[in-house]
Amino acid sequence: MSKFLLLGSPKTEYYKNLLMKADIGLHEQIISHIRKNVPVGSVILDFGAGEGAMSQRLVDSGYKVIAIDMDIEHFKLTDVEFFQVNFNKTEEIKQMLDKYNSYFDAIIGIEVIEHVENPWEYIRMVKSMVKDNGYIFISTPNITNWLSRFKFLFTGRFMGFDTDSLSYGHISPISEFELRLILETAGFKNIKIYKGGASPTIWVTKNFMYNISHLFSLFFYPFMKGIKSGNCIFSIAKK
């Protein structure tokens, strides 16, 4: 897919026939940073594993993986340890924290934090399960990319967080500023936040009004600050 021009909807991506429930290219970006920071053989928690695409990619890269998700029916791997946990149920979370206190060398939460009721508590929970000097990798939709800012200007809603988004569980929009603040307040260090996923300059869809607003909003792009491109942001932080 061209980073400059996209016609229609982005294609669904798979890894070994496992659906990647994330934006285009995001898995590849995150795994490259994991390889740079986390030694092969380390134990990694795939927190929100979906069908298991990232879990399988980690196994193929030489890591030991434990996966958890709210939905056990969709997880397709048989050689990766899996636990079903509802991230918004206190008792289930407590059981997991008791079992895995300071257990993991790294924890990955790809497109999870926007689904939980309390993002601050989610980060504290993740911190309690990672070892000292371990890493966490967290991604979430980029609500401050240039198109989302333009949409918010006229609708009061961010991209990916309108009424339709409730059907797939997007309830907690988080900006780059807030994500960094949460991580800093939780006591993480060496925090880095990057743009992630695909964000074409020109995106032509079947929606005429969307196309017009997309082109018009380009005029404001040079004046915007922060991470203004990329459909997602992802952070790397060290405990």
pLDDT in tens, the chain (239 residues): 446 656 556 678 889 999 998 888 899 999 999 999 999 999 999 999 999 999 999 999 999 999 999 888 889 999 999 999 887 787 888 888 889 999 999 999 999 999 999 999 999 999 999 999 999 999 999 999 988 898 898 889 998 898 876 767 899 999 999 999 999 999 999 999 999 887 666 667 677 777 777 777 778 888 889 998 888 999 999 99
Residue 49 CB partners (closer than 8 Å, separation 6+): 55, 67, 68, 69, 75, 82
DSSP H helices, the chain, are 26-37, 53-60, 90-99, 119-129, 146-155, 176-185, 208-217
**Residue 65 — φ and ψ, nearest 5°?**
-125, 135
Contact assessment for residue 19 and residue 53, using Cβ atoms and an 8 Å cutoff: yes
Tell me, what's the pLDDT at 198? Answer: 73
Whole-model pTM: value is: 0.90
Quick one: pLDDT at residue 2? Answer: 43
**CB contact at 8 A, 18 and 76:** yes
The residues with which 15 forms a beta bridge, in sequence order, are: 18
Pair of tokens at residue 210: 């969307």
Range 5-143+169-206+230-238 classified under CATH 3.40.50.150: yes
Token digits of residue 175: 């900006």
The structure tokens listed for 51 are 């069908």
What is the domain partition of the chain in residue ranges?
A: 5-143+169-206+230-238
Tokens of 94: 């407590």
